[in-house]
């Protein structure tokens, strides 16, 4: 347990490229460290469980892991979102219907042709519904070689969202959506062939000065109900 266990939180690991904008909040770092420790313990528990007569050690590790997990879940997610986002979204929906956390901080990871990743990849099965994160207007619906079938949205907060690699569109230009309403479905169009996922980019200022969407997604994911919320009438009427 000296921190050398590989972690899936790629960009948070020491030495990995990391935007200074994303390190400013203590609660974010605290959360990242807790997540890493829980993950390391999961790893150790898995390995130990394959050895005979390890019940005592396993029990101790499991207790330690559960305590950390409790601490992680007690972190104030609203505060986390407010501390890490350069903007405020009052009501936010996680954009993909999925129950298991399907993304990591892959901001600025190297991509083909010397490019750097400009967003976050949210892994999902083909055909899974994609939803508006907040009340939004559809600015553009189009097709390109890299992004495939893609949609540009502007949210009520002024944030520009770009969804790429979609399969089907549920919107046309000029449509207005409430948070949680259907934008389309997950696909593998563009350069994602065989690996269906949502590639999402955001600019809180409404332009194309892309910002790491990871912390927004993380906050939205943490605040989700355990079951995906299907919106088919006017939602959030008390807001």
Binding site for Zn ion (CB under 5 A): 121, 199
Is the Cβ of residue 40 or residue 118 nearer to Zn ion in the bound state? 118
In this chain, which residue has its C-beta nearest to Zn ion?
199
Is the Cβ of residue 59 or residue 126 nearer to Zn ion in the bound state? 126
Q: Taking the complex as a whole, how short is the minimal distance between the CB of residue 92 and Zn ion, in angstroms? A: 20
Q: Taking the complex as a whole, how short is the minimal distance between the CB of residue 191 and Zn ion, in angstroms? A: 9
The number of CA neighbours under 13 Å toward the Cβ of 177 is: 29
Q: Taking the complex as a whole, how short is the minimal distance between the CB of residue 200 and Zn ion, in angstroms? A: 8
DSSP class per residue in 110-175: B-GGG-B--SEEEE--TT-EEE-SSSEEEEEEEEETTTEEEEEEEETTS-EEEEEEEEEE---TT-
113: left (phi over 0), alpha (psi -120 to 50) or beta: left
Separation in Å, CA 51 to CA 37, 147, 231: 22, 47, 48
The gap from C-alpha 143 to its chain's centroid, in whole angstroms, comes to: 23
Q: Taking the complex as a whole, how short is the minimal distance between the CB of residue 202 and Zn ion, in angstroms? A: 13
Is the Cβ of residue 25 or residue 191 nearer to Zn ion in the bound state? 191
Q: Taking the complex as a whole, how short is the minimal distance between the CB of residue 117 and Zn ion, in angstroms? A: 6
- Residues 94, 233: Cα–Cα separation, whole Å: 18
């Amino acid at each position: 347990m000296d921190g050398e266990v590989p972690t899936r939180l790629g960009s948070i690991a020491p030495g990995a490229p990391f935007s200074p904008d994303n390190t400013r909040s203590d609660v974010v770092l605290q959360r990242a460290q807790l997540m890493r420790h829980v993950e390391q313990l999961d790893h150790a528990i898995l390995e130990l469980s394959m050895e005979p007569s390890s019940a005592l050690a396993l029990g101790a590790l499991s207790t330690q892991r559960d305590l950390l997990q409790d601490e992680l879940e007690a972190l104030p997610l609203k505060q986390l979102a407010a501390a890490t986002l350069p903007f405020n979204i009052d009501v936010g929906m996680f954009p993909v219907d999925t129950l298991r956390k399907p993304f990591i901080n892959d901001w600025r990871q190297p991509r083909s042709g010397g490019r750097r990743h400009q967003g976050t990849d949210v892994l999902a099965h083909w055909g899974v519904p994609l939803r508006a994160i907040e009340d939004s207007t559809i600015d553009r619906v189009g097709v390109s070689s890299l992004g495939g079938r893609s949609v540009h949205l502007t949210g009520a907060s002024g944030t520009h969202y770009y969804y790429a690699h979609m399969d089907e569109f549920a919107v046309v230009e000029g449509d207005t959506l409430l948070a949680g309403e259907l934008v389309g479905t997950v696909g593998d169009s563009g350069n994602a062939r065989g690996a269906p996922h949502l590639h999402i980019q955001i600019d809180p200022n409404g332009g194309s000065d892309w910002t790491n969407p990871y912390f927004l997604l993380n906050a939205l994911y943490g605040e989700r109900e355990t079951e995906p919320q299907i919106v088919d009438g006017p939602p959030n009427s008390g807001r």
